[in-house]
Amino acid sequence: MSMRKCLVIGAGLAGATAARLLADRGEKVHVIEKREHPGGNCYDEKTNAGVTVHKYGPHIFHTNMTDVWQFCQRFSRFNLYQHRVLSYVDGQLLPFPINRDTVCRLFGVEMGIRDVESFLADEVARSSYREPPENFKDAVISQVGTYLYDKFFHNYTRKQWSADPETLSAEIAGRIPIRSNRDDRYFTDLYQGLPEHGYTAMIESMLDHPSITIEFNTDYFLARSEFDKPGKYDLKVYTGELDKFFDEAYGRLEYRSVKFEFRTVDQEVFQPAAVVNYPNDYDFTRITEFKHMTMEKSKKTELCLEYPSAQGIPSYVVLNQENIGKRQAYLDHVNDLEEQGKALFVGRLAEYRYYNMDQVIASVMNKLK
């Protein structure tokens, strides 16, 4: 039986995972990537200061899915980093997600776990929101009440999405944990960490297979007629923008981008956590200090300030009512192509979903069963 010829469009995490799984089962895979490097938005590189920075914002791997974790372990060892985030509110650096210490310090009180649960229930009870939640604002207020929503979420969300939180899907708020104990980890998954030598090295290892070839600086849409020639490929795996594949037949889908400002600071440590959010101050949303995550030693430190933008490389899908409707129209066509075995659409952009990295890998695994 001859090998199938597969085209994978995009060398990010979704594309690399698909390419490797296909190659492992005996398929011949050609990967094309419009950038000059693999890794997509997970791409990282080491600076002159000896610190690895994530060029498209911080990426922390976390999962409860053992099969996903074991797949990644094939290509890299991981350090034992567990992510912690602080939020700058009313002149204080407070733990985020909201936990017992956040509430006690913000309100100037001392209380136990059960008291925190009752306190938050009272905050919710005195707040106004729709049940079930109809949008992001409703979803957050239903968990923490109006006061904490205003302090931690409202302005950050407006900066991040350049939209009224009431126009955004409640689905986004489903990612926000609230804790009544003192656990200040951002994620509580069983498996957490960063690849020991970076995401770029891990993805390069995924793509290192005799049945995989790669072309960089190659835009699928600039040579689509060549790649789409009948009989050239038996299967296409697409990881780019969903609407672009269908020539925006149902209108453009919105994606948010981020402008990154990198700074090398001549001091060993700048801030007490890897990420500090700024919901109410400044134009940027957060500052990342990568040394906390990579555990590298240097007399200097590397910072990244993030300024959300409507222009640039797509990073986030905008889940409002209009876009969700358009997404479904496109996904109806996707389902037809996938059922015919002609194409697979995988990843955050191609599925127009807000995925964590482990969910991207799990989606690829599921579609390639």
**CATH annotation of 5-81+193-253+318-367:** 3.40.50.720
The encoded tokens of residue 271 equal 């801030």
41 in helix, strand or coil? helix
Label residue 175 by pLDDT band (50, 70, 90). low
The encoded tokens of residue 43 equal 């791409």
- Report pLDDT for 363: 98
Average pLDDT for 292-319 = 96
Average pLDDT for 59-64 = 98
Cβ neighbors of 315 (< 8 A, separation 6 or more) are 41, 56, 57, 255, 256, 257, 258
- Report pLDDT for 2: 62
Question: Are 293 and 58 contacting, i.e. CB atoms less than 8 angstroms apart?
Answer: yes
- Report pLDDT for 1: 47
| Number of residues that this document lists for the chain | 369
- Report pLDDT for 174: 72
The kind and range of the H/E element at 187 are none
> pLDDT, tens digit, for every residue of 196-250?
999 999 999 999 999 999 999 999 999 999 999 999 999 999 999 999 999 999 9
**What does pTM read for this prediction?**
0.95
- Above 60 in pLDDT, residue 315? yes
Average pLDDT for 135-164 = 96
Average pLDDT value over all residues in the chain: 96
Q: Which amino acid is at 54?
A: H
The residue ranking higher by pLDDT, 172 or 50, is 50
How many beta carbons lie within 10 A of that of residue 36, not counting itself?
Answer: 7
Cβ neighbors of 210 (< 8 A, separation 6 or more) are none
Average pLDDT for 262-277 = 98
Transcribe 241-276 into DSSP letters: -HHHHTTTTT-PPPEEEEEEEEEEESSS-SSSSSEE
Q: Strand (E) positions, the chain? A: 5-9, 28-32, 44-46, 52-54, 61-63, 85-89, 92-96, 191-193, 212-215, 235-238, 255-265, 275-277, 286-289, 301-309, 316-317, 343-345
Label residue 158 by pLDDT band (50, 70, 90). very high
- Report pLDDT for 173: 83
Label residue 263 by pLDDT band (50, 70, 90). very high
308 in helix, strand or coil? strand
